[in-house]
Amino acid sequence: MHFEEGLTFDDVLIIPQYSDIEHRSDVSLATKIFSNYSLELPFVSANMDTVTEYQMAFAMAQHGACGILHRYMSIEEMLTELENYKELFVEHKLDYQSLIVSLGVQDEARLEAAYGAGIRHFCIDVAHGHHALVKKKIQAIRDKYKNEVHIMAGNVASYEGAKALYDWGADCIKVGIGPGSVCTTRIKTGAGYPQLSAIINAAKAKNEIKNKELFLVADGGIKYYGDITKALAAGADAVMMGSIFAGCKETPGIVWRNENEEMTKSFRGMASAAAQSEFGIENINEEGIALTVKYKGSVRHILPRMAKGLRSGLSYSGAKTIRELQEKVRFVKITSASFQESKPHKASR
C-alpha cells in the first residue's frame, strides 16, 4: 500500500515577505502556454460547452488571456466557430491569435480539418491523461506533423503522469483530476489528487526536463481569486477556470430568469448525465453535474478584478513576475480554524 499526503488551496497560505514593489502596475502577469503562444494574463477559460466557444475565446484574447474551444460539436460546427473567431479579429482590426482546439483520442478527422483551417495548437482532452491511448495519440500527431503543431495534453495529477506526457511529446500539460466545481470524479470513483500538490508534482516533472521549453496549466479547483496566486506559485504557467467564467455574457447558452426572477445561465460538467445524453455518449460513468449560475455580465468586468487580485498576491511575496513568485514563494500549512479565520467573519459575544 502506498500513501501520500496531498494539499489543496484551502490547506495553505502564502507567507508574506519583504517587498519593494511600490504599485501593482510594476507587477507583470505575462506568461506562455506554448513556446510561441504568449499571454498578458495567465487565465484560460475551460474547454466546456457551457464556457468556451468562439465569442468567449475572443473576449479572453482581447484582454490578453485565452480560451480553448471544446470538442463537443460536429466538425462543420467547429469550422464555423474557427471562421467566426477569425472574423472577429478582422472586424476589430486586431492581430489574429490562433484558437486552441480540443481533441479526443479518436478525433483524427477533427484534427485534420482544424489543421487545414490553419490551427496549430491542440489540446488532447481526456479525463485520465496518463493512459496508453493518449500516448498513442500524441505520438501519432508527432509522427505526422512533427513540430509543426503544439500539443497540450491532460489531465494528470501525479509526477509520473506529468513526466509521461512530456516524454510522449506534449509541450504543455493540463493538471487536475477531480477538483472542478461540477466534477464528481472523486466522489464517484475514489480517484483524484488534491490540486495544490498535483500542481507541485507536475511542476517537478517539468523542471527536471532541461532540453525543451515546457508548460503547465492548472485546471480546476479555483474557488477564490487567491487560489489563482497559489496555483501559479506552485508551478503553473496559467490557470484554467470554468465556474468563475460560467454565466458570463460571452459563454454559450441563453440567459433566462428563474422562479425568483434572477437572471441565470446553465453550467455543466462534460461528464454530467445532461452533457453525455445530449452528445450521444453511452456507457461512460457519470462524473459531473449540471446546474444554473447567476448571470455575471461581460467577462471584461471579471478579468481586471482577477488581475488586480493576482498582482497584489505577487506583491505580498515581493515578486514582480510569475517566475519570481515561483522562486520566492513560501507556503504555510494551516488548520481548518485558520481557514475560517481567513474568510470574512464578525465578532460574537
3-state secondary structure of 91: helix
Residue 133 lies in domain: 18-255+301-337
Judged on CB neighbours under 10 Å (0-12, 13-18, 19+), 155 is: buried
Q: Which of 50, 52, 185, 264 is catalytic?
A: 185
DSSP state of 161: H
Q: Which of 66, 123, 172, 183 is catalytic?
A: 183
Q: Is 296 contained in some domain?
A: no
Catalytic status, residue 31 = no
Look over the chain and give the mean of its residue pLDDT values, rounded to a whole number.
93
Query: Where does the pLDDT of residue 124 fall: very low under 50, low under 70, confident under 90, or very high at 90 and above?
Result: very high
What is the chain's alpha carbon radius of gyration, rounded to the nearest angstrom? 20
Q: Is 138 contained in some domain?
A: yes
Cα dihedral 337, 340, 342, 344, rounded to 10, equals -150
Q: How far apart are the first and last CA of the chain?
A: 49
Q: Cα–Cα distance between 219 and 180 in angstroms, integer?
A: 8
b/e sequence 164-199, b meaning 16+ C-beta within 10 Å: bbbebbbbbbbbbbbbbbbbbbeeeeeebbbbbbbb
DSSP state of 98: P
pLDDT at 272: 61
Q: Is 188 contained in some domain?
A: yes
Find residue 156's DSSP bridge partners: 175
211-230 confidence digits (pLDDT tens): 899 999 999 999 999 999 99
pLDDT of 141 above 90? yes
3-state secondary structure of 305: helix
Q: Is 101 contained in some domain?
A: yes
Give, in order, the Cα–Cα distances in Å from 257 to each of 261, 265, 287: 5, 9, 27
pLDDT at 233: 98
Q: What is the mean pLDDT of residues 155-174?
A: 98
pLDDT of 276 above 70? no
* Residue with the larger pLDDT of the pair 264 and 29: 29
CATH code, domain with 209: 3.20.20.70
| Structural domain count of the chain | 1
Helical (H) or strand (E) element with 151: strand 150-156
Measured in degrees and rounded to the nearest 5, phi and psi for residue 176 equal 145, 115
Q: Is 287 contained in some domain?
A: no
Q: Is 272 contained in some domain?
A: no
232-244 confidence digits (pLDDT tens): 999 999 999 999 9
Q: Cα–Cα distance between 88 and 56 in angstroms, integer?
A: 11
* Residue with the larger pLDDT of the pair 346 and 50: 50
71-90 confidence digits (pLDDT tens): 999 999 999 999 999 999 99
- pTM of the entire predicted model: 0.94
Q: Is 108 contained in some domain?
A: yes
Where does residue 316 fall: left (phi above 0), alpha (psi -120 to 50 degrees), or beta otherwise? alpha
Q: Is 345 contained in some domain?
A: no
Helical (H) or strand (E) element with 307: helix 299-315
Catalytic status, residue 189 = no
b/e sequence 57-84, b meaning 16+ C-beta within 10 Å: bbbbbbbbbbbbbbbbbeeeebbebbee
pLDDT at 251: 96
